[in-house]
Structure 1
């Protein structure tokens, strides 16, 4: 009998196998899942068209014909996965035809296979129900500050030192500004963002979670209201740094990937609605002449800092820190946090 498993009940050594098309997988999947598609994007389009315009039975038959040719490859691929993972858990969009077919077949061939109840849609239901609950007990320590002061780098160091960190920009694959996607490639979908946030909070070992202060939107992503409200109620730290330090840090981050030069020119074109044509032409010349440090400084002074000053909510900061060295800044925050929460615990006892 086919095993049908709820996502909440997954235990032990297993691997989630997403049998949807590559396009569906790229849009959003369960974190950690591998894609072994039964149909490629074009095949899925063809089968879907037949399903809608002709008949369900004809669509199923066409799907079986297309998948049948791939069965030896699919079997070999699944067996390879089984060598590293004890249990194979298949899922498709709704836990229907695709995942039932492949999980039943693989089980009959001796694979320790099961099917995820409700498929990806069932998993999304779990995320929507549990994310607000997971968030209720969290105290967020929120790092604020202008672009380039090192907030992301400080969070990475805190994470390395064993502290819980929720990387919202990493989950969105976007830095949150108009130029925030430069060098990062395609931003993630809202669904994938929420899945990554859920996964982080579900795995946390402490209720003290560091996070970067953001506007409600990160590119096209919207931070869920439950998380946003808890961040507003959290502990707030203002991070400051000299302009040259900020420019050097931005260059180091933005120049990581090939093709960032073209992305910078494209992003500058987007700034035309916010700046004079004269300034844009000057910045474009800096980019073409590879005067990236001066360009970064100019953009911070003329665009980013004024924008941050006008949009950032004014908090009563619990701590302010000046950054000249990322590691030292992280250590200072760690020392301060230990004293703060030790004092809070003592007050609670008395």
Structure 2
């Protein structure tokens, strides 16, 4: 049988056609980024890849290849024993590795010899990454967006969650980035994805969406924590119609105390994050906030953060960057609760 090969550009549009997408690279390579929906069957594990690479540099290419072949054969056998014995003849995997195809080719050859129809991505992950980066701007431009705006604590993310629950198309960039998009937006114990993985997550979401229906998205800045929103998407967002969520100051404080409960529970961590605002707000102000937080008065600190720090910066940024903000439709939930946001989402979608 002959192994079928497709280009990375073809793979972009046909991932759903395969029974399984298999990444034959090491765990570390896979963790940095991978094709959407791919599972990891390493032909060489991270530590094995390092050992083979060292042998290649210090001894010879021939000796490295012998060791690599033995390790790959062992690993491929384990994958087949674990994952393949229950597969029907109709099972059709798409396989890729980094670029050259040796690691994916080893797995593909054996699966092919068993009798499965196997497809390889020409140029591997490297070619796919280049194709995805090239495709993202036009994919982003294909959709029309409703940009959910509003100051910090207004409930933008809660509204997005409510819209998604009711079947709307929602691109939640903060959820994809594992970050709440501010100096205090770090989520304890949760790592952000790499830039490559963030791009892939956005591409996969946009690829699933129906261009005939709106995509609801929050009015993010160019960066969400340490990752950047792709240029084509940020450009499309900033030209799109806006929806402005309005909540009272007291409701916003209550919402933030709920959503950032980990700060209330870990005052030392809260004070540490407040320290990042020293340059912007001054040492005396930040030390006052830290002292009040330690005394248990977190609510007043949050209120001052909103009024003195976040609100002025947000208003200046949103007016400068989002073309249709001044004509935004105003949305006024009755309060900050999930029930109120669900009610608002129903009204919005019905309209």
TM-score (structure 2 length as normaliser): 0.84
Asked whether the equivalents of residues 44 and 75 of structure 2 are also in contact (C-alpha less than 8 Å), the reply is no
Instruction: Show CA shifts across 1:7-62 (max 9, x none).
Output: 13445352112121221111111221112223332222233344456544333323
C-alpha deviation, 1:232, in angstroms: 1.8
The aligned residue for residue 163 of structure 2 is 158
- Cα separation, 2, equivalents of 1:220 and 1:61: 41
**How many residues were matched structurally?**
335
1:44 to 49, 58, 64: 49
Q: Which stretch shifts more, 303-312 or 152-161?
A: 303-312
Q: Secondary structure at the match of 1:274?
A: helix
CA spacing shift, 1:265–1:19, aligned 2, 3 Å: farther
The aligned residue for residue 234 of structure 2 is 228
Q: Which stretch shifts more, 169-178 or 268-277?
A: 268-277
Q: Which runs of 5+ in 1 are unaligned?
A: 339-350
The aligned residue for residue 342 of structure 1 is none
1:178 pairs with 2:183: yes
- Cα separation, 1, equivalents of 2:315 and 2:51: 52
C-alpha deviation, 1:213, in angstroms: 0.5
2:344 to 319, 322, 329: 329
C-alpha deviation, 1:285, in angstroms: 4.3
1:246 to 243, 246, 252: 252
C-alpha deviation, 1:190, in angstroms: 1.6
TM alignment of 1:1-350, pairs within 5 A: 1-6=2-7, 7=11, 8-51=13-56, 55-79=60-84, 82=87, 86-183=91-188, 185-205=190-210, 206-255=212-261, 263-288=269-294, 291-314=297-320, 315-323=325-333, 324=335, 325-335=340-350, 338=351
- Cα separation, 2, equivalents of 1:334 and 1:280: 42
Q: Secondary structure at the match of 1:17?
A: strand
Asked whether the equivalents of residues 151 and 311 of structure 2 are also in contact (C-alpha less than 8 Å), the reply is yes
- Cα separation, 2, equivalents of 1:258 and 1:96: 51
Instruction: Show CA shifts across 1:67-126 (max 9, x none).
Output: 34434422223327847x932222211152111111212332445543223211122132
- Cα separation, 1, equivalents of 2:108 and 2:270: 46
CA spacing shift, 1:259–1:318, aligned 2, 3 Å: closer
Q: Which runs of 5+ in 2 are unaligned?
A: none
C-alpha deviation, 1:300, in angstroms: 2.1
Asked whether the equivalents of residues 257 and 264 of structure 2 are also in contact (C-alpha less than 8 Å), the reply is no
Asked whether the equivalents of residues 16 and 32 of structure 1 are also in contact (C-alpha less than 8 Å), the reply is yes
C-alpha deviation, 1:312, in angstroms: 2.5
- Cα separation, 2, equivalents of 1:327 and 1:256: 24
- Cα separation, 2, equivalents of 1:63 and 1:262: 49
CA spacing shift, 1:328–1:78, aligned 2, 3 Å: same
CA spacing shift, 1:13–1:272, aligned 2, 3 Å: same
TM-score (structure 1 length as normaliser): 0.84
